[in-house]
Every structure is written in structure tokens, then in C-alpha cells.
Amino acid sequence: MKVLLCLSLLLPALFSAQTLNRLDKHGRKTGHWINYADSAKTIKLFEGRFRKDKPKGSAYFYTNKGLLDRVEKNRFRKLKTTFYYPNGLVRMSGNARLENLPDRIHYYYYGQWKVYSDSGKLEKYYYYRKGELIKTVYLDKNRKINDSLIAALNSIDRDFTAHNTRLTDSINANLKNPEKYRAFKQELAFKDSLSFASIDRILDTYGYPGKAVAGDATAVPFYILGFAPVHLKEKHMGKLLMAATRDDISMKSLAFFIDKLRLAKGEKQLYGTQYYLKKDEYLLYPVEDEAHLKERRASVGLENE
């Protein structure tokens, strides 16, 4: 009798263990799944159910510390999704969708999303179209931050950095292969031109986006213009100077930009920031009105450099 009792207590646990993380005969996930961050299985990363590799019901996603990060409720190809702060309060919620494309699975947000502060207060609405943020509406009408502009600037920045890193590595790896070297150089010039055109459009539309509108992304146009052709730098110089007066751009950084632009045009530099190497010695490029160089340097914070 005691043996039967022990078996009756053990069987549910054994059965439960056997039903976790199963694959069907076609190798597809089925039933109840739990993934852990550690070998001791004390920190969950994921818990949910599958049928033929497709999520069913509610799925729970956790951080590497075991804190709930988001919950997805699967219903008729719609994923009602809720993200959480580490304190357990809702961060944002809305709808997402999974599409099985020929070459990949496309996961994207759509429609209206509610966004909350870490104290639980509803602050704004995001509106998405197939994963693209198209509009932000703040409940506080005094807020000027433009989230869609920030998203666009950050996307341009990521793309610019990614293609420059990849293509520069390819160019350096093919210094002895003229055909590939030229091809990668041409691709780099083309990709750069797309980034420059995007920044040009933003500056034409918004002027220089200051911190009050673009937050930390305010630095992106200035950074990318640093690599742009002379005509684009000249076109937007007035906007850069205005941004510097608002402290959206450091005047010290703009001094370097101005000197490089003047030298590219065959003119003398203003702030004495540019040097060239000759016989192991760094020499200053010619400077306009050198007698007042110290005063100009001091006016932009370069007096100690």
C-alpha cells in the first residue's frame, strides 16, 4: 500500500516532467515549454504553449534576472502584447503580429500602443503601421518630444554605422584586388549618399532638431554631416550655428567642423584645429587672421587645447 501511495505521488511529477519541452514526430514544438537562463533551472527565460510550432494562449518572457519582461496573448494571429518595468508595472501595451514570409518570420507592431511611466501613469500613445512608428500623441500637450523623428534619426545612425563598418572592412581586405576594391568603394559611396539624403530631408523639414524635440538623437545630423559632401555642409551651416547658440551642438565641436570645411574649400581655417604631419612633426594648416587666433579659440572653449 505504501509503495502504491509513493508511486501515486511520483507519477504526476514524472508525467509533468515528460510533457515539458516536447517535439512532435515532425520535430515541431508542442505542449508546455519552459526555457531557463541557468543550468539549475531557477531563472525562467520563457514559458508558454505550442501547437505545431505555433504559440498558443499566453506566453511569458523574462529577463536574464528572471523578471517578467513581456506577456503575449496569442489570438487569431494577433499578439496582444504587454511590456513590464522591473518594478512589475506595465510599460507599454498593444498589438503585434507574426507573418511567415518565404525567407523569414516577420514580427511587427501595429495600431495603437499605450505607453506608461514607471509609476503607472499613461503618458502617450504610439501609432504603428507594420512596425513603423508613424505618430506619437502625448496626453500632456506641452510635451514637444517627437518620437517618430527620434526613431528615424536613430535608424539612420544605425544604418550609417553598420554599412560603414562592414564596407570599410571589405575595402581594407581587398587592397590587392582592384576590382573588388572599386566595387566596395562604389557601394560605400552609394550607401553614404542615401544617409546624407535622409539627413538633408530631415533638416529641410524640421530645421536642426534640438534636444527639446529629439533628445539624445539631436547629435545624429551633426555627426553624419561631418562625412557629407562640401555642398551639404555649406547648405546647413546656418542651422548648425543656430543649434550651437541653443547648446544643441557643442561650439567646440562645431569649430573643428568649420575648420575642416574651410580647408576642403581651399580656405584658411578659423580656429586652428587642423594639423598635418611632415617629417615626424605636426604643423598647423594656414589660419585666417592669426593675430586674433587665441581670442577666437577662447570664444569656443579651445583656449586650453
**Least confident among 14-18, 26-30, 33-37:** 14-18
Enter the pTM of the model. Answer: 0.60
Per the domain annotation, does 266 fall within a domain? Answer: no
Q: Which CATH number is 39's domain given?
A: 2.20.110
Identify the domain containing residue 244 by its residue range: 147-249
Read off the pLDDT of each residue in 192-215 and give the average, rounded to a whole number.
Answer: 93
In a shared domain, residues 130 and 204: no
Per-residue pLDDT averaged across 276-290, rounded?
92
pLDDT, tens digit (0-9, with 9 covering 90-100), for 116-129: 988 999 988 989 98
Asked if 31 and 132 sit in the same domain, the reply is: yes
Q: What pLDDT sits at residue 4?
A: 43
- Which residues touch 76 (CB under 8 Å, ≥6 apart)? none
Residue 15: its pLDDT value, please?
A: 43
Which range has highest mean pLDDT (17-31, 147-161, 206-220, 251-265)? 251-265
In this structure, is residue 282 part of a structural domain? no
Summarize pLDDT for 224-235 with one digit per residue, the tens: 999 999 999 999
> Are 124 and 172 within one domain?
no
Q: Is residue 221 part of a domain?
A: yes
Single out the residue of 268, 236, 240, 269 nearest to residue 253, CA to CA. Answer: 240
The domain boundary residue, chosen from 87, 114, 138:
138
Q: Which of 78, 105, 138 is the last residue of a domain?
A: 138
102-117 pLDDT, tens digit per residue, is 777 788 999 999 999 8
The residues near 117 (Cβ < 8 Å, ≥ 6 apart) are 123
Which value, to the nearest 10 degrees, does the dihedral of the CA atoms of residues 19, 22, 26, 27 take? -170
* Three state DSSP letters for 157-175: HHHHHHHHHHHHHHHHHCC
pLDDT at 3: 44
Is residue 279, in this structure, part of any structural domain at all?
A: no
The answer on pLDDT for 76 being more than 90 is: no
- Give the residues across from 124 on adjacent strands: 115, 138
Shared domain check, 151 and 118: no
How many distinct structural domains can be found in the chain?
2
Give a yes or no: residue 17 inside a domain: no
